[in-house]
């Protein structure tokens, strides 16, 4: 449950406890919006528990990772979390890391995510220089331009060193040895040697011919170097006398890994990256509309599962080989389409809370970060996400007719990086991107105004059932009542002895300590969820109010023994129908309380939830009033 949180230390502790403690954490990294954990054992209950915490947008389990989507404060949470676990000492060699694909995705995320903002900043600086040169052509000849230019290129030139740092942490190898090896790859001396080989001067190492491959801005060669280094270092540490180990391990690592990379690892992995990039480029050049439709339409689907880092080596290879890349041009249009979908919700929504969440998500989208928009707005209402994907595909197809390219890497492609598509040699590129962006931002707004965004409470207001005859009610067409499901003592939610409920993280509501043994329906509606242990049930009213009734606290541990279901998932019911019977005395005999939180889980979709001021409840009493 997304919400304001400033106690990042407590949130980090809560997440660690929920996932099984330090002993269950193999690795932890972060990206722009997510805390990414690799766990020894997966606990099905952990996902829902963490997702309900204040400050957490949602949880995604994919790519062998437990991904906690936090948003802009992920850095603070990661810092506190990293201080709670000793990841360097974690033995990952004997753990099951999942499938090969999952391990590759996890590695790409762990390696690139920590410094993505550095690359994004450098890309924005390059975009700014492009604009200044357009406005002031003579600026390119000044020393000021030269200084800012080499600053903007420095992170890309020395990219292998960044990779050495993050990969050493991921593969649990010596950081300084990894940096020393990768620094050798970007040495100016090696660049001179490679240039001589390119010019036809044959050179060899121990009788083996050297390849003219250079490694500035490269991705896979330093990544594979550090990966293999991690095995070599462990072997040397295990088999070498501890007296000579501090000197000989770095010495042997350097003299083995650097030559091995320039002779074999570098040429092979560079050829692999080039092949993948050329495969994509073949599609983009021969069927640009197909490439645009795929990327524009499905990029945000990939983002949902957190596997989007896997494309980074290919994109960087394009910039290194050709100085341009069309993938990020289409990617930008996909991002803008989700921003457009959020704008559509802002214009259509009647709920102030929905508008507030949408504005916040839209602002982060301007910086190329779409997770808050996806999880907080577009995917939540479903239609906006679909409209965004459709609009992204159409916009990218339209752009494809103008050969769109980015000429400077954008760490976080989005509206602010469109200028990276400007290049005098490809004058139509920027116009194609602008056309695609215009379609991507306008079309979802239009579609949402026509077809709505799913949870359109303004349209459903007229369908609210009238209060039953004989019941005291002052409801209007913009209000709906939730009646008491029990007879019993009413307890404010803040006094419930469970922080998840009392904090309001799951929504607004109250609690009742029942005096009877039956849970009755509080309105007409449908059963949307029944816990396997029968202690909790999710209900949806005919107009869309979603209610969670959690009978007792910690009663999940009773494995359903004191509960008897009278309905099943998907059943419809009328107000007053018996939904669950339970043995109150049995629950008390186990030392547990029957205090029952009653929560409106989609409180954010409404302008206000009014909690009635009553001390005891009967089935005819109105507990909550939802204002639409």
User: 520 an active-site residue?
Assistant: no
Catalytic residue among 73, 535, 550, 588: 550
Cα–Cα distance list, 242 to 229, 236, 238, 254, 286 (Å): 19, 10, 9, 19, 59
Find, among 458, 326, 473, 349, the residue nearest to 404 by Cα. 326
Q: How far apart are CA 498 and CA 555, in angstroms?
A: 12
Catalytic residue among 31, 181, 182, 389: 31
State the Rg of the chain over Cα. Answer: 29
Whether 199 contacts 250, CB under 8 Å: no
The H-assigned helical ranges of 136-219 are 143-157, 159-171, 175-185, 188-198
Q: How far apart are CA 597 and CA 554, in angstroms?
A: 12
- Which tokens is 72 given? 């802009």
User: For 60, phi and psi rounded to 5 degrees?
Assistant: -125, 130
SS (H, E, C) 29-82: EECCCEEEEEECCCCHHHHHHHHCCCCCCEEEEECCEEEEECCCCHHHHHHHHH
- Phi-psi region at 161: left, alpha or beta (left = phi > 0; alpha = psi -120 to 50): alpha
* CB-side neighbour CA atoms (13 Å) of 439: 23
Helix axes 327-348, 352-366, angle to 10 degrees: 160
Q: Is the dihedral of CA 540, 541, 543, 545 positive or negative?
A: negative
CA max distance for the chain: 99
Find, among 453, 452, 482, the residue nearest to 467 by Cα. 482
Find, among 487, 508, 479, 521, the residue nearest to 597 by Cα. 508
User: 31 an active-site residue?
Assistant: yes
- Which tokens is 331 given? 């990617």
Whether 342 contacts 243, CB under 8 Å: no
Q: How far apart are CA 580 and CA 311, in angstroms?
A: 50
Find, among 48, 45, 43, the residue nearest to 58 by Cα. 48
Q: How far apart are CA 529 and CA 443, in angstroms?
A: 35
Give the other-Cβ count within 10 Å of 40's Cβ: 16
Q: How far apart are CA 244 and CA 105, in angstroms?
A: 37
Residues forming the active site:
31, 550
């Amino acid at each position: 449950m997304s919400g304001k949180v400033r106690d990042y230390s407590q949130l980090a502790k809560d997440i660690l406890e929920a996932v099984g403690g330090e002993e269950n954490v193999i690795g932890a990294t972060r990206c722009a919006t997510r805390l990414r954990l690799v766990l020894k054992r997966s606990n099905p209950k952990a996902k829902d528990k963490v997702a309900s915490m204040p400050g957490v947008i949602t949880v995604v389990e994919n790519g062998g990772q437990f991904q906690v989507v936090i948003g802009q404060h992920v850095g603070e949470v990661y810092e506190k979390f990293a201080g709670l676990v000793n990841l360097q000492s974690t033995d990952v060699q004997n753990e099951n890391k999942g499938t090969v694909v999952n391990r590759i995705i996890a590695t790409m995320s762990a390696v690139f995510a920590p410094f993505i903002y550095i690359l994004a900043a450098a890309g924005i600086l390059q975009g700014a220089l492009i604009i200044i040169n357009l406005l002031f052509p003579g600026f390119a000849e000044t020393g000021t331009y030269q200084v800012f230019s080499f600053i903007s290129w420095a992170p890309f030139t020395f990219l292998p060193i960044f990779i050495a740092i993050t990969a050493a942490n991921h593969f649990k190898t010596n950081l300084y040895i990894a940096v020393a090896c990768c620094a050798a790859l970007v040495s100016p001396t090696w660049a001179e040697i490679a240039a001589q080989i390119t010019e036809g001067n044959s050179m060899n190492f121990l009788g083996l011919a050297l390849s003219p491959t250079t490694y500035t801005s490269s991705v896979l060669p330093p990544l594979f170097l550090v990966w293999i280094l991690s095995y070599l270092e462990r072997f040397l540490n295990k088999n070498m006398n501890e007296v000579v180990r501090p000197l000989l391990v770095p010495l042997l690592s350097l003299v083995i890994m650097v030559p091995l990379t320039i002779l074999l690892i570098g040429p092979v992995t560079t050829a692999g990256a080039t092949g993948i990039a050329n495969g994509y480029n073949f599609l983009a050049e021969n069927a640009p509309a197909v490439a645009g439709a795929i990327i524009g339409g499905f990029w945000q689907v990939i983002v949902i599962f957190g596997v989007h880092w896997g494309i980074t080596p290919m994109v960087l290879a394009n910039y290194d080989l050709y100085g341009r890349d069309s993938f990020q041009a289409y990617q930008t249009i996909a991002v803008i389409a989700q921003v457009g979908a959020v704008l559509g919700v802002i214009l259509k929504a009647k709920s102030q809370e929905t508008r507030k969440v949408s504005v916040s998500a839209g602002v982060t989208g301007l910086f190329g970060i779409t997770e808050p928009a996806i999880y907080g707005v577009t995917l939540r209402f479903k239609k906006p996400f679909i409209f965004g994907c459709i609009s992204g595909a159409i916009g990218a197809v339209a752009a494809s007719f103008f050969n769109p390219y980015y000429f400077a890497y954008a760490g976080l492609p989005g509206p602010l990086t469109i200028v990276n598509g400007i290049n005098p040699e490809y004058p139509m590129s920027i116009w194609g991107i602008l056309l695609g962006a215009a379609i991507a931002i306008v079309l979802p707004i239009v579609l949402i105004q026509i077809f709505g965004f799913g949870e359109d409470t303004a349209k459903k207001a007229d369908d609210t059932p009238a209060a039953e005859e004989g019941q005291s009610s002052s409801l209007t067409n913009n209000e709906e009542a939730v009646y008491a499901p029990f007879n019993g003592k009413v307890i404010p939610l803040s006094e419930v002895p469970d922080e998840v409920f009392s904090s309001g993280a799951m929504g607004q509501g109250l609690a009742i300590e029942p005096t009877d043994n039956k849970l009755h329906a509080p309105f007409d509606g449908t059963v949307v969820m029944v816990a396997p242990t029968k202690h909790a049930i999710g209900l949806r009213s005919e107009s869309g109010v979603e209610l969670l009734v959690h009978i007792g606290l910690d009663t999940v541990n009773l494995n359903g023994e004191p509960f008897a279901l009278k309905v099943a998932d998907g059943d419809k019911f009328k107000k007053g129908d018996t939904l669950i019977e339970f043995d109150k005395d049995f629950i008390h005999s186990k030392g547990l309380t029957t205090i029952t939180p009653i929560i409106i889980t989609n409180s954010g979709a409404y302008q206000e939830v009014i909690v009635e001021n009553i001390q005891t409840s009967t089935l005819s009493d109105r507990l909550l009033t939802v204002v639409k």
